[in-house]
Amino acid sequence: MSQHQVWMTMRSMTADPSVKSQKLKAGTLKRIFTYATPYKKHIIFFLATVIIDAVLIVTTPLLLRKLIDEGVIPKNSILITQLALLVGGLAVLDALFNIVGRWFSSRIGEGLIYDLRSELFTHVQRQSVAFFTRTQTGALISRLNSDVIGAQQAFTATLSGVVSNVISLVLVAGTMMFLSWQITLLSLALLPIFIYPTKWVGKKIQSLTRESFDLNAKMSSTMTERFNVSGAMLVSLYGRPESESSLFRARARRVADMGIEVAMLNRLFFISLTSVASVATAFAYGFGGHLAVSGSISVGTLLALTALLARLYGPLTALSNVRIDVMSSLVSFERIFEVLDLQPMVNEKPDAKILSSGSTEIEVKDVRFSYPKADEISLASLESVAKKEIIESGEILKGISFTARAGSLTAIVGPSGAGKTTLSALLPRLYDVTGGSISVNGTDIREFTLQSLRDQIGVVAQDPHLFHESIADNLRYAKSDATDDELISACKSAQIWNLIESLPNGLNTMVGERGHRLSGGEKQRLAIARMLLKAPSIVVLDEATAHLDSENEDLVQEALKVALVGRTSIVIAHRLSTVMDADQILVVSDGQIIERGTHSELMNNSGLYSELFSRQDLTAN
């Protein structure tokens, strides 16, 4: 038995048997075959090479039998030469078919990985923000990596393994029975001695592998959390580096120890199986030798039988666990389909309209909103802690109504938890209203395509996100074909160009993970520049100056004066001094508008607004 055969046997025997108990959904197999359709010709040629390879496995020992019986023993040198050349030619042919088969296998496997990953990535991008607030990123990435590769195995390793092993087993066992049924039955009787040690070692390796995967996942999670900028700062500020290192070393040590155990078990596995195969061969030689001496079989037949014997146990043991191999691949497919079947919470109509740029009036009419339940937006298998939620969020917004005229500035203020940010998320349809409607120029925003709606809305959040790329790349995320002159113009308008110009690499400066190489005010102004490049008709500012010092706040406010000119603006503000010039101010409390008017009107009302303003004014003094 070759080392490759032993490895394939071990792979089969150490597969997780728990998948056998899983029930596949109806229609899963039919759906899988739709992914195979584009590669139908490739699969046919691939299986042809597998079948030919299996036939050559039997052909070579039979030729060796003929070479011994009809060439060596009768001393027929011409036939010896012919058969030797034929055996060598078949070996070369077998190698060529292996190369061709590998090419087809790669085309099928890599093509399938490409198709599944592309479809998954595109589908996940269509999910609502609510999906990402619950999903564990690592679990989602695992679907795009581990499960996709597991599904690919169904069309390469598993498919070829089953076909190859079945054909090899039938041909080898049939040929051996034809040559000598006595030696064949003896060989099959020794099979349990071959399988039991394999099962034992397989379970041990399986247990260690599971623990190793778990520990590696924990170490990966630790590194991800500790090595990002925020995590590294927390560890440094709270002085826990030695404690973190100690915990990491303990896990890494256990993984290393398990690696040694697995390596020794693998060696034990290889030695035990080759030893059992050698013992079986010795039995075959001993028993077959007596048959050859008595004239029941020829010497060439004996040599052919022992050569075939080495090719008997591998397919038998692999096929004894074929259900595990097949189910492992099918379960990977099902886990992928589970994500693909999760419909986005926010969808557009088939006949959706295009929202064009220009003057824009917003009407919010009796808007009500409740956050969706977990089973409506996410999958339990993608959440780190999947517990059924008993308490629902309740109604966050309770009949909000207002009109924002084209080119006007509407400020939304109120205490924390009043529903201000939730209201701003409804306009670009990050969520959909559960009651009432939001209209733009008299048309419900659900009538527009998502792309055209969001193209006309520019958002600057309290903590704007920047990718770990250059300043130019982050800016061009709003307009991919923007020229350097356009970037510079936007940065000047956003009061950030003087800083960028002073940097050694200018626009090519890397901003670091989440933009941590920039200050809060610099990130805000860069986000404003990005929004200006987008040139939207509507601007939403969500606490854009909440955590800035007075100097940075002045710069950001100066940038916003340019950014908001001619645009319909919704500004959520904590600092009331920043919205005193708003065309209308809406005071929200407990999901309802309790006051509305200009700054002077609200101050004269002596309500919540005037109370909040006075409190902030006192704090400022």
Residue range 196-248, pLDDT digits in tens: 666 677 677 667 766 776 677 667 767 766 776 667 766 666 667 777 788 78
Which of the two residues, 276 and 341, has the higher pLDDT score?
341
Q: What is the structure's pLDDT at 410?
A: 92
- Looking at CATH, the fold of the domain delimited by 362-456+537-620 is given as Rossmann fold (3.40.50)
Q: How far apart are CA 247 and CA 222, in angstroms?
A: 10
pLDDT bucket at 148, cuts 50 / 70 / 90: confident
The three-class DSSP label of residue 594 is strand
pLDDT for res 513: 67
Q: Is the pLDDT of residue 140 over 80?
A: no
Length of the chain: 621
**Distance in angstroms between the alpha carbons of the first and the last residue of the chain:** 87
Average pLDDT, the chain: 80
Count of alpha carbons within 13 angstroms of residue 167, beta-carbon side: 18
What's the DSSP call for residue 370? E
pLDDT digit string (tens) for 528-558?
888 888 888 999 988 776 656 666 677 777 7
Question: For residue 451, how many other CB atoms are within 10 A of its CB?
Answer: 11
pLDDT at res. 297: 86
The sign of the CA dihedral 80, 83, 84, 85 is positive
**Strand-pair partners of 248:** none
- 259 vs 391, which has greater pLDDT? 259
| 405 pLDDT above the threshold of 60 | yes
- Min mean pLDDT across 166-180, 440-454, 511-525, 572-586 is at 511-525
Residue at 32: amino acid letter: I
Does the domain at 462-535 match CATH 3.40.50.300? Answer given as yes
Handedness of CA 171, 172, 178, 181 (dihedral sign): negative
pLDDT of residue 363: 93
pLDDT, one tens digit per residue, over 349-396 is: 888 999 888 888 999 999 999 887 766 666 666 665 444 544 455 788
Q: Between residues 331 and 589, which one has the greater pLDDT?
A: 589
Structure tokens at 616: 């902030």
pLDDT for residue 387: 47
Q: Which of 563, 494, 502 is nearest to 523 (CA)?
A: 494
- Whole-number Å distance between alpha carbons of 609 and 207: 63
- pLDDT, one tens digit per residue, over 301-325 is 888 888 888 777 777 766 766 666 6
Tokens representing 339? 């994500």
Who has greater pLDDT, 328 or 100?
100
Cα separation, 618 vs 599, in Å, equals 17
Let me know if the fold of 362-456+537-620 is the same as that of 462-535: yes
- Spatial contact of 545 and 553, defined as CB atoms under 8 Å apart: yes
Q: What is the pLDDT of residue 403?
A: 93
Note whether 511 and 517 are within 8 A (CB).
yes
Residue 249 has pLDDT above 80, yes or no: yes
Mean pLDDT of 329-338: 78
Report the percentage of the chain scoring pLDDT > 70: 80
177-187 mean pLDDT: 84
| Per-residue pLDDT tens digits for 469-494 | 888 998 998 888 889 999 998 888 88
In the predicted model, what is the mean pLDDT of residues 570-575?
Answer: 84
Of residues 22 and 171, more confidently modeled? 171
For 594, phi then psi, to 5°, come to: -105, -15
Residue 437: Cβ-neighbour burial (10 angstroms; 0-12, 13-18, 19+): middle
- Higher-confidence residue of 217 and 278: namely 278
Ranges of each domain in the chain: 3-340, 362-456+537-620, 462-535
Q: Which residue has the higher pLDDT, 83 or 190?
A: 83
**How is residue 576 written in tokens?**
């009331």
pLDDT for residue 2:
47
pLDDT tier for residue 3 given thresholds of 50, 70 and 90: very low
Q: What would the DSSP string read from start to end of 442-507?
A: TEEGGGB-HHHHHHTEEEE-SS----SSBHHHHHTTT-TT--HHHHHHHHHHTT-HHHHHHSTTGG
Query: pLDDT tens digit string along 11-25?
Result: 555 455 554 455 666
Does 609 score more than 60 pLDDT?
yes
* CB-based burial, 565-581: b 16+ in 10 Å, e otherwise: eebbbbbbbbebebbee
DSSP-derived secondary structure letter, 394: -
Return the ∠ at Cα 440 (arms to 581 and 411), rounded to 5°.
Answer: 20
Instruction: Please check whether the domain covering 3-340 is classified as CATH 1.10.490.10.
Output: no
